Structure 1
């Protein structure tokens, strides 16, 4: 009997689907790279140790199979999704409730306590955040461009477009906040 999988496990299973049936699979390192290039824009990209922990769990539940390749004295372990893993992923996609996202926003948290900061420092923090948004947006735009208009990548492309719209909206919100904070005088001491 399989235990309930974490959302991270399902996210990793989903990353295997893009490999195709002829693929030799991915190493844990390659899976982590793919997570860093994709998940980081809309989900937490798991740490390397978490990737291997989840892979061990998925292998134990026969949702992923592992095979070893030897090259000289070096052993490489590759992972592939199994039919059971694919079935479990589809079940999760089609039947689980969609939770409302929990916003963990360090900039908003600091703004909440903005009365404890000098207004100039607060404005500087928000300006830096707008700059960081531009960098992340450029990274995501490169991902979206790389996906092209291939049918196989239709849904990842839609998520990338959603992310681009998110960065645009977030930039607009923070720019408006900066305008509201423009006239605040520095506090003494």
Structure 2
């Protein structure tokens, strides 16, 4: 990485700071990222956020302020600078066609290797994920309803984040249906074939001499 090159996590941190122009601690950035980004980007660890903040502080992209927490306790909070806002705009405007989409799904890796355990244990893994997706979907829908009730949407400054929220809702519905189909497929592995339908077998190719 070049001295002034930023990681994707750094841009995510800049975006969280820029979203409402707030002064936020590393822990608060983590909380906002967990709520806003976790379904399509993931939430970085606080230690990672602090490393990125120190790099951006040295580059003049964020500024640091000490805020009181009560008594003698103090905390460091951050906000974007003018150069930081311009850097974020320049990055957002770049062509993303060549950006690699990295998918790391531990659930699918476990199912891929599922022959190592009984099929009923694989089904339990899928069932737990189905429950989690259902809970995530309910949380996102509740958040959308709460935002509507508070008059936060529709709002010109939140059109793009709302569009991603809609994408997330559609994706969760899709994941729910896709997981259910995956479960049905695994559940049918040990089921006897329907009467009158012989099991499918590949035909041997003819031997040529």
Report the TM-score when normalising by structure 1. 0.88
Partner of 2:199: none
Does structure 2 retain, via aligned residues, the 8 Å contact 1:13–1:81? yes
Deviates more, 1:147-156 or 1:101-110: 147-156
Spell out structure 1 runs of 4+ moving beyond 6 A: none
Does structure 2 retain, via aligned residues, the 8 Å contact 1:144–1:161? no
Does structure 2 retain, via aligned residues, the 8 Å contact 1:141–1:160? no
Q: Does 1:126 align with 2:126?
A: yes
Alignment of 1:1-189 (within 5 A): 3-20=4-21, 23=22, 25-70=23-68, 72-98=71-97, 99-145=99-145, 146=147, 147-185=152-190
Q: Distance in 1 between matches of 2:3 and 2:159?
A: 32
Count of residues in correspondence between the two structures: 183
Q: CA-to-partner distance for each residue in 1:24-64, whole Å, 9 max, x for gaps?
A: x1122221111111121211201111111111111111000
Specify the SS of the correspondent of 2:44.
coil
Does structure 2 retain, via aligned residues, the 8 Å contact 1:15–1:35? yes
Pairwise CA distance, 1:127: 1.4
Aligned alpha-carbon RMSD (Å): 1.9
Q: CA-to-partner distance for each residue in 1:104-152, whole Å, 9 max, x for gaps?
A: 0011101111222211111121111111111111222233332532222
Report the TM-score when normalising by structure 2. 0.80
Q: Distance in 2 between matches of 1:142 and 1:2?
A: 43
Q: Distance in 1 between matches of 2:95 and 2:175?
A: 29
Q: Distance in 1 between matches of 2:179 and 2:35?
A: 25
Where relative contact order (Cα < 8 A, 6+ residues apart) is larger, the structure is 1
Pairwise CA distance, 1:166: 0.7
Specify the SS of the correspondent of 2:38.
helix
Specify the SS of the correspondent of 1:90.
helix
Residues 151/185 of structure 1: CA separation in 2 closer, same or farther (3 Å cut): same
Which structure has the larger Rg? 2
Pairwise CA distance, 1:14: 0.6
Pairwise CA distance, 1:72: 4.6
Does structure 2 retain, via aligned residues, the 8 Å contact 1:68–1:76? yes
